[in-house]
Amino acid sequence: MTSVALQHHSMLIGGRDVDTERHREIVDPSNGDTVATVAHGNAGHVDDAVAAARATFESGVWRHRTPQERAAVMRRIVAAANDAAEELVELELSANGATVRQATGFHIGYALAHFSYFADLAETYAWQRPAPITSFPALGQAVVHREPIGVVGAIAPWNFPLLLTLWKVGPALAAGNSVVVKPDEHTPLSILAFARIAEANGLPPGVLNVVTGDGPDAGARLAGHPDVGKIAFTGSTAVGREIMRLAAGTVKQVTLELGGKGPSIVLDDADLDLAVDGVLYGCFVYSGQICESGTRALVPALLHDEFVSRLVARATTITMGPTRDWDTDMGPVINGRQQSRILDHIRAAVAEGAVVALGGEALDQPGFWVTPTILTGVRNAMRIAREEVFGPVLVVIPYADEDEAAAIANDSEYGLAASIWSSDNTRALELAERIACGSVWINDAHQINCQVPFGGYKQSGLGRELGPDALDAYTETKTVHLDLSGGRPPKPYDILLSHADDGENP
Ligand code: NAD
């Protein structure tokens, strides 16, 4: 596997490598080692990147290519990125602590597959859609055009740095926009590498720019920049609110993918072996650092004790170890701050009456490790059931009947995803209709299918990513009306004037 030890990465602005005097260290969360340094950009670099993106957009060098030509370039980029997949995996896991299995399949595998989907979408999307010719009044022909917006800003989190960035860059490029990416401070390496691969494989310089810098400085400038037409953000709900506020100044289009507190609802007819594995997978994969994780297990009161003992027995088999070891199930959490926050959450839950059935500890070794934690004695009103912990912490909440299960599931300010575990598909489908969230998985978890929309109800987000309509969010709509009457009446103003002559319509 390629070593990235202490390699320095500059930014990519207008096709040029741009460095800064100050550098930021990138730390491997699995051992605390510094693995690389990156340029520390600021709001001024964002201004430069937006200017470069705007100039490239105006030049037409990308947007005036046909959708087929753009798709062909995007496919060349995917092929080259696939050739570099091992390096991308190492860049990703060395900065965010994913295990090699997760980073290969989920982080990089999905990222490239989904980018490829957007190339396909460019070719099938209805860029121009004729509207029916209206017969009365004779208004002629209308054609609805979808056009690129201009400069798109993409602000990404650290948990899936490349995947969640390409969910934005993919449709933005497919539509002909130019893009400025502001990656998370911890994890800029994979998108910087991807952007360089893109330029080396046919993407004109300045179409995809990457500015590495802090959120409140570089990120805020991008969200508020007057020359950015759309901002796409994934991250915490608190920052999402701030992005909306900043974008309001110039009435930008906004897409937000925010936090979650997903319920995993186990029905009394569930295959318990499947449900136990599914609930654990739903919560603990990637140490619970997935926005759509199922962090609240809702279990029939009559099955509660049996289910908890099965959960605990199975969870003890989850292996934690070196992230580059293919047998490791679970890696560290992202940093020391987050590790302390997770442990504080667990302590506060215990103070409120929760019981630790498993885990609840940090590992005494370099890096930032928290053991898989299962808490019982939790009520949905407790902080641990309401706030997003973003760590390997599962709470188990008993319910009396299905009505109560649905009520608890929906009693949350979030609404991103839920899972339902049942051997009766009809019953599970009926329950799915009652759950207020953007994705419901029946007998599965974390099913991210790029061909269907993904996003949240309530404070989990605004708009949707993925799916056939994803390009709508990266385009403007223009309706062009063409008069087909040859200038002969009746026209609306003739009708209006004749009414006015009658004195009926002053
Ligand atoms: P975060 O909100 O702290 O940071 C996300 C990004 O926003 C980073 O790039 C950061 O630099 C930037 N940022 C921070 N402050 C900013 C500001 N004032 N203006 C502009 N940009 C700013 O979130 P995080 O810690 O990176 O990610 C964890 C959170 O993200 C969790 O709450 C999680 O649920 C959520 N998340 C949601 C999804 C989803 O698809 N819904 C996916 C992943 C993560």
Please indicate whether residue 161, judged by its CB atom, sits closer than 6 Å to ligand 1.
no
Q: Is 439 helix (H, G, I), strand (E, B) or coil?
A: strand
Please indicate whether residue 219, judged by its CB atom, sits closer than 6 Å to ligand 1.
yes
Please indicate whether residue 360, judged by its CB atom, sits closer than 6 Å to ligand 1.
no
Whether residue 476 contacts residue 459, with contact meaning beta carbons closer than 8 Å, is answered with no
Pick the residue whose CA is nearest to atom 30 on ligand 1.
235
Cα four-point dihedral sign 187, 181, 234, 193: negative
The encoded tokens of residue 180 equal: 């400025």
Pick the residue whose CA is nearest to atom 8 on ligand 1.
184
Rounded distance between C-alpha atoms, residue 163 and residue 255, angstroms: 16
Task: Write out the chain's pLDDT in tens, 506 residues.
Answer: 444 447 999 999 999 999 999 999 999 999 999 999 999 999 999 999 999 999 999 999 999 999 999 999 999 999 999 999 999 999 999 999 999 999 999 999 999 999 999 999 999 999 999 887 665 555 678 899 999 999 999 999 999 999 999 999 999 999 999 999 999 999 999 999 999 999 999 999 999 999 999 999 999 999 999 999 999 999 999 999 999 999 999 999 999 999 999 999 999 999 999 999 999 999 999 999 999 999 999 999 999 999 999 999 999 999 999 999 999 999 999 999 999 999 999 999 999 999 999 999 999 999 999 999 999 999 999 999 999 999 999 999 999 999 999 999 999 999 999 999 999 999 999 999 999 999 999 999 999 999 999 999 999 999 999 999 899 999 999 999 887 766 665 555 555 555 555 544 43
Pick the residue whose CA is nearest to atom 22 on ligand 1.
215
Rounded distance between C-alpha atoms, residue 470 and residue 167, angstroms: 9
How would you list the strands of the sheet with 208-210, edge to edge?
16-18, 11-13, 208-210, 178-182, 151-155, 230-234, 253-257, 461-462
- Strands (DSSP E) contained in 6-111 are 7-9, 11-13, 16-18, 23-27, 34-39
Instruction: Go through the chain and tell me how many residues it has.
Output: 506
If one residue of 46, 239, 289, 386 were mutated to test the ligand 1 pocket, choosing by the most ligand atoms within 8 A of its CB, it would be 239
Q: Report, as residue numbers or ranges, the catalytic residues.
A: 257, 291
Cα four-point dihedral sign 431, 437, 439, 443: negative
Going from the Cα of 139 to the center of ligand 1, the distance in angstroms, rounded, reads 48
Instruction: Round to the nearest angstrom and report the end-to-end CA distance of the chain.
Output: 80
Question: What is the value of pTM for the model shown?
Answer: 0.95
